[in-house]
Amino acid sequence: MRLDILFLLAAFICEILGTVGGFGSSVFFVPIARFFFSFNMVLAITGILHVFSNVNKLLLFRNSIDKKLLLYYGIPSVLLVLAGSYLSTHTSFELAELTLAFFLVIFSATLLLLPKLQLPATRNNALFSGALAGLLAGFNGTGGAIRGISMAAFNLEKNTFVATSAAVDLGVDLSRSMVYLGYGYFDKQYWYLIPLLLVISFFGSLVGKKLLYRIPQEKFKKLVLFLILGIGLILLFKESHHFNL
């Protein structure tokens, strides 16, 4: 029970950080949840948490969706998340975890060194980053961070950014969750966590929305990136022994 409380508290904090930081909670939640569950269980529970989280964000920011960007990012993301989810069933979880660790370290270090980095605001970049984000989301549980870099180039108002990203993520997370559940990734002994995650996702998104109005996003984003870098380094150290790195 004590581990359950720690896990749920961690999920709550990840929801807040993901909402305010603009990268989505998965960059925090996936590596942290790995300390509590097997990697296949982490993928399944992340998908379910994100379904709840994105529904809540859409309720909170429902009037701010950019419908054109929703199509550009959403269609390739949903198509490629199915490919990534299927790939995860035919690849060792150690390799998936190692790619996750490298991704977190490279992503955070790049944005800390190049804080103004943005992809040009073009339709092709939206389609490509949407596809890559979907593939990573299905394979190792992350992906929203890639889409976040690309979407930043469109200079969206904060509420529009959160709402549009949540709308894309909802399709992605529904799709991958069905694949994970179909392959038995979710351990049935933990079904009781699902309603608790629903409550946590709502209050985490709500607190994140309130902080979004109070905290300068650039300062908070830098703190978030340092946290991601630390988590990535810890996970990289943890997994490197499997490959004698």
DSSP for 166-211? HHHHHHHHHHHHHHHHHTT-S-GGGTTHHHHHHHHHHHHHHHHHHH
13 in Cβ contact with 27 (< 8 Å): no
For 56-65, 144-153, 170-179, which range has the lowest pLDDT when averaged over its residues?
A: 144-153
Residue 25 belongs to a domain: yes
Residue 220 belongs to a domain: yes
Residue 86 belongs to a domain: yes
HEC states along 137-149?
A: HHHHCCCHHHHHH
HEC states along 34-56?
A: CCCCCHHHHHHHHHHHHHHHHHH
Residue 94 belongs to a domain: yes
Residue pLDDT, tens place only, 35-54 = 889 888 998 998 888 888 88
Given this model, what pLDDT does residue 5 score? 86
pTM: 0.79
How many folded domains does the chain comprise? 1
Residue pLDDT, tens place only, 152-189 = 778 777 778 878 888 888 888 899 999 899 889 998 89
For 30-39, 54-63, 171-180, 187-196, which range has the lowest pLDDT when averaged over its residues?
A: 54-63
Residue 245 belongs to a domain: no
Given this model, what pLDDT does residue 98 score? 81
Structural domain of residue 228, as residue ranges? 2-240
Per-residue burial over 100-120, b if 16 or more Cβ lie within 10 Å, else e, is bbebbbebbeebeeeeeeebe
